[in-house]
Structure 1
Amino acid sequence: MGTVRACRETSKPSTSSPPPVTTTSTSRSETVNGSHEFKIDGYSLAKGMGIGRYIASDTFMVGGYAWAIYFYPDGKSVEDNAQYVSLFIALASEGTDVRALFELSLLDQSGKDRHKVHSHFGRFLESGPYTLKYRGSMWGYKRFFKRTALETSDYLKNDCLLIRCSVGVVKSYTEGPKIYTIAVMPSNIGQHFGQLLESGKGTDVNFEVDGEIFSAHKLVLAARSPVFRAQLFGPMKDCNTQLIKIEDMEAPVFKALLHFTYWDALPDMQELVGMNSKWASTMMAQHLLAAADRYGLDRLRLLCEDKLCEDVAINTVATTLALAEQHHCFQLKAVCLKFVALPENLKAVMQTDGFDYLKQSCPSVLTELLEYVARIGEHSVIVCGHGNENILLDGSDVNGRRVKQRIF
């Protein structure tokens, strides 16, 4: 008879089976930090109150717990025979096993910053943060400073001591993977307010600007602008809020101002002025920046400043530079100075009407411009005058020869 063999195949993992899922989590520990300064005025009167008796600071909160500083003028322990002052920090609220880092400092009052500091912060701790078991638990030093040394030191001034205590409460938490995904739509509050303006419903104040009438809502304007708030609700509010006349502003500029106030976004500048022109758009941004500064709309002012930085050009840069100086737009001013000072731009800019306006309205900017031009050309600058007077650049060329260049 033949031999019958039973064979069993070893199963192999299916290549089509999904890969194993790996999840992660992270435990994080960090400190919530806070400090308190405790002034002891009349130190000499506190001496002699007795060993174990203390002066306590007011309580202060750090990391969700109340703390207090305890100062013992005659020391905390009898065995030290009142030769040392003692200093402690105590947990002043209910808590169990509160882990924290501490720093106790006696402040040098001579101005030399030679403080006496005992600190857990910034160093390796073999046993980790200190643990306070219950309310009233303390950490500190029985022999913080010898009394005789303290009383002849710069820590004591005008019979006054300054103590600073820093506390870092340890908080631990574990982060795991999100098990949900919720798509949150972007905020559309601006759209809602913008549609309210366009509908005209509920308006309760009108403005006359350059012969045109604009209707708006007092509460919206007051919420957005401190100037409108004072004008509409302040002690010196306008008596006639049914029609307020706005001087020194063009109607399209006020319309753009209202658009931003409701929509929280810039309007289409070219559509607003009715011209497909970069120059017209820049002019509108200039006027709108001034209006934003006038009504305390800081975000609008920054948006206009950003747009003007992008659109610096020969025919508008001088007026933009004057505007930047008048409304304290420091980044815009720097961009304009750099643009004007370029050799290929300087003469062209000086021939524009805007440059005459710059000389008349902001003569101090000319000095800064000259200094900027001089730095680029490595010249020393002699300013002979402003306004319609001549101004010279006096320096040396690359070969060391003396040169004078009349620029305007």
Structure 2
Amino acid sequence: MLAWIVTPAAALLSLAVLAAPADAVEVSDRASVRVCADANLLPYSNDRLEGFENEIARLIGEELQRPVTYFWWPQAIGFVRNTLRARQCDLVIGTASGEELMQNTNPYYRSVYALVYRTRSGIRAESLGDPALRDARVGIVERTPAANLVRRYGITRTEPYQLNTDTRANNPAADAIRDVAAGRTDAAVIWGPIAGYFAAQQTEPLTVVPLIKEPAVLRLQFSISMGIRAEEPEWKHWLNDFIKRRQAEIDRILLRYHVPLIAEDGTLKTAAATEPPGYRMDEYRSPVPAGLSGAATVTLPELRGLMERTPDLRLVDVMPAPARPADRGDGAVWVPPPRLTLPGAVWLPNTGYGQLSDAQERLLRSGLDVVSRGDRAAPLVLFCERNCWMSWNAARRAVEWGYSNVRWYSDGTGRWQEAGYPLEPALPFGSGASN
């Protein structure tokens, strides 16, 4: 919930505390998981289900074996009144812990405000107190902890962005990041999940520094919980148990969206910590790491942005081909049926196993060479399906073979299709299709 995350909860407590409903709905009574969310508030949520809160809601639905439905309302003052309190929905996926308008679950992540600047600017600051920022023009969202931070360091050249706005038309925090990339400002101090997500989408390289070294007197870190109505103890206990059991998977989702995560010891969690030491050799359809060293992990919205602004982007699908039918002997000609894949993608089937045969390795090497036109710096995106280790294996091999601009799209074609984007048929590379 953007408004409750970027400003202290106390600032919004002029509204009445959520009253206990007389007709509480507990877990066993739910026909679906009804989520209260904003239809246009990435990286949290949108109506194409592209946000990390959408991903977490999907996990809840799978656990309960219930469909997930949404009641959409812009994230602004009155959100809780018009959604949860109006009983249009039963769960707010993200709210600041201690927010008294809702009953809170246990927190499922803790994040921090971040400093963002252009990587090529020459700035190397880890704190807003760095002398390099003394005369910088710094973007901040009004009435957030960032405003207190710039005042503490005597920074007067600020670019203010509005806090309360209609999210159907504006995202001021995202605008602040875009202005840094465009050079209209020198830096910005923005809530970490927003900073990390939108910084990763800019063509201009940006550095994101989670401000974990600032004095403790300045509250820049916030724990985030889920919000429900009062007097629904069974629902709260179930959600708390879900968070405890699925915390590692929740962390992987958040790290894929570039959310700065604060561990219990105050250090930052990293995507690299979720990676195994070698290739995945079995159980290829299971939860995958949050990232891949040497490659950039991209979410669905990030991939869409890349496809729009990178004409030479190469998409490589490594989903295995269907098995040869038992009634087709080794001597019979058989071509696997077309694979429905992302538009323009080249299909290199069976090249994502942990151990490749000589023929499979030749196919991957030759396929990457052709799609990259021999340029090891060409932008590549490797994928298959959601929770498919084969794309992780193949992307790792591409990095090890010297490709320097590799991206791994871990959500795959299923996530693309769920968001309403079209798929196109493709034949295996080298089968005669016009790859």
What TM-score, normalized to structure 2? 0.18
Structure showing greater relative contact order (alpha-carbon pairs closer than 8 Å, 6 or more residues apart): 2
Structure with bigger gyration radius: 1
Question: Which structure has the highest strand share of the two?
Answer: 1
TM-score, normalisation: structure 1: 0.19
